[in-house]
Chains A and B, each alone.
Chain A
Amino acid sequence: MEQNTHIVSEEAKFNSWLSSEKKKGLVDIKLYPNNTSTASKESFYAELNAMNTAFQNGRYEEIKYL
Chain B
Amino acid sequence: MTFSDIAVLVTDIHKNHFNLTLDSEMPVLVVDGLTGSKSFLQYISNSAQFRGIKEVKIFRVDYRQNFILGRFQMYGDKADILISIDENNCWSRYVAAKEMSHIIIDKTQESMTTDIARTITWILKQGMDTNIHASLDSEHIAAQFAAELLVPYYISKPMLENPDLTSYQIAAHFGVPERIIDTFRDPGYSELRDEAYRDI
Residue positions of A touching B, CB distance < 8 A: 11, 14-15, 18, 21-22, 24-37, 39-41, 43-45, 47-48, 50-51, 53-55, 59-66
Q: B61 contacts which of A32, A36, A54, A64 (Cβ < 8 Å)?
A: A54
Classify chain B: how many residues form its interface, as a range.
Answer: 35 or more
0/1 interface trace, chain B 79-102, chain A, CB 8 Å (1 if under): 000110100010011011011001
Contacts of B33 in A (CB 8 A): 64
Contact A66 B71 (CB under 8 A): no
Contact A27 B60 (CB under 8 A): no
Contact B58 A28 (CB under 8 A): no
Contact B71 A51 (CB under 8 A): yes
Contact B73 A54 (CB under 8 A): no
User: Which of chain B's residues 27-81 have a Cβ closer than 8 Å to chain A?
Assistant: 28-33, 57-76
Contact B73 A29 (CB under 8 A): yes
Using CB atoms, name the residue of chain A closest to B84. Answer: A51
Segment of B7-15, B124-132, B161-169 in the binding face: B124-132
* A51 to B66 CA separation, bound complex (whole angstroms): 11
Q: A32 contacts which of B30, B62, B70, B124 (Cβ < 8 Å)?
A: B70
21 A-B residue pairs with Cβ-Cβ distance under 8 Å, sorted by A, are A15-B117, A22-B114, A28-B112, A29-B71, A29-B116, A30-B71, A30-B139, A31-B70, A31-B119, A32-B68, A35-B67, A40-B124, A43-B67, A47-B63, A47-B68, A48-B68, A60-B61, A62-B57, A62-B59, A63-B92, A63-B96
